[in-house]
Amino acid sequence: MRRQPLKTWPLIAAGGSLALLLAALVIFATSVGAVKIPFSETARIVLARLPFTSKESLLANVPKTHDTIIWSVRLPRVLLAGLVGSGLAAAGVVLQALFRNPLSDPQVLGISSGAAFGAAIAIAFGVTFTIAGISSIWFFAFVGAMLTMLLVFRVAHITTSRSVTSILLAGIACSSMLTAGITIIMMWNREKLEQVYLWMLGSFSASSWIKVGFMGLVLLAAVICFTLLGRELDMLTFGDQEAQSMGVSVKRTRTIAVVATSLLVAASVSVSGIIGFVSLIIPHIMRILTGPKNRRLIPLSLLGGAIFMILCDTISRTVAPPAEIAVGAITQVTGAPYFLYLLWKQRRKEAKE
């Protein structure tokens, strides 16, 4: 007998369980590293920064070096990893609903390639500056991603409609063009080839509180947008004509959703590099648990994406110390087999039909 999704699970129970797991994982991930800090001590350092807590009593007998390591180095990295994981997972949910394809991924929009192209320019041509904590690579990556989003929409608009097919084809075309540009840049600047390649693999080693705040604001704005569009996204899964007959403004909804998703992916890639499979794996796992409704799927995917990304980042920096493995490589090792499983499952479904 085929197992049905557990649609009767209350959202608060599933979300509460994932939230507790996430909170515990944040403390655990922050406590592990080259310098081992006890779990209880890490928890006290984190709690000391919360409002309405006694900082003096919580930090009593805590070495100053431990406080600096946790608050200034590890915690920003763990939180940034969680925010990026949440953003990519939510983007995957929305794009799968818009394209009505369970294998849709934010990279099909070309935003990731645009960010990589911007970062490659900054690295290859030695553009270095830091303004208010914003580095040149971060700035160029975000600008590249945003310009790519505008280019994709412009190309799609030429077809006189922003249909799913036109946006998808425009994204693929722009992504291919930018990937070719990155290859040319890397060949012209072979001495910077390794640095560009490592950035593209993804890493949270350059995390900071400024990046955490930036990513948090973008994610909050995108989540509010997705929540307001939750019903419309559910309707779009039935097709454009059916959704329009139910009172949904298809063109408006798709435009807002794609722009919000593009901003979210642009922010994520600019602070971490290209990290694949998160937006594919997490929505599918959460869909098995809670069913296909986006108003329930999006918040749970946010939590699941954060948990998955923090786990991957913790493995990347602790499995082979003092070296660090690119977090993108960890997600690919995890996600590639699952992707093959999804392809096999979809092929079996099509064969039965």
pLDDT tens figures, 288-336: 878 778 888 899 999 999 999 999 999 999 887 777 888 988 998 887 7
Spatial distance between the Cα atoms of 170 and 155, rounded to a whole number of angstroms: 6
Is 2 part of a structural domain of the chain?
no
Tokens representing residue 139 in the block:
């700035």
What is the residue range of 317's domain? Answer: 11-352
Instruction: Give the number of other Cβ atoms within 10 Å of residue 161's Cβ.
Output: 12
Spatial distance between the Cα atoms of 29 and 51, rounded to a whole number of angstroms: 22
Residues pairing with 135 in the sheet: 130
Amino acid at 162: R
Helices (H) and strands (E) in the chain, counts: 16, 2
Q: Omega before 322 cis (within 30°)?
A: yes
For residues 225-240, average pLDDT: 83
Nearest-CA neighbor of 113 among 62, 87, 147, 153?
A: 147
Is 38 part of a structural domain of the chain?
yes
pLDDT band at residue 253 using 50, 70 and 90 as cut-offs: confident
For residues 186-205, average pLDDT: 85
Is 272 part of a structural domain of the chain?
yes
Is 6 part of a structural domain of the chain?
no
DSSP tag of 103: T
DSSP tag of 303: H
pLDDT band at residue 19 using 50, 70 and 90 as cut-offs: very high
User: CATH number of the domain that 128 lies in?
Assistant: 1.10.3470.10
> Which residue shows structure tokens 């991957």?
312
Is residue 44 within 8 A of residue 59, CB to CB? The reply is yes
Q: Please give the torsion angle defined by the CA atoms of residues 292, 294, 296 and 300, in that order, rounded to the nearest 10 degrees.
A: 90
The domain total for the chain is 1
Q: For the segment 52-76, what is each residue's pLDDT rounded down to a tens digit?
A: 777 778 888 888 899 899 999 999 9
Predicted TM-score (pTM) of this structure: 0.88
Is 5 part of a structural domain of the chain?
no
SS3 content of the chain, % helix, strand, coil (to 5): 75, 0, 25
Tokens representing residue 83 in the block:
């925010």
Instruction: Give the number of other Cβ atoms within 10 Å of residue 25's Cβ.
Output: 17
Is 1 part of a structural domain of the chain?
no
Is 315 part of a structural domain of the chain?
yes
For residues 247-276, average pLDDT: 86
Q: Which helix (H) or strand (E) holds 134?
A: strand 134-135
Is 4 part of a structural domain of the chain?
no
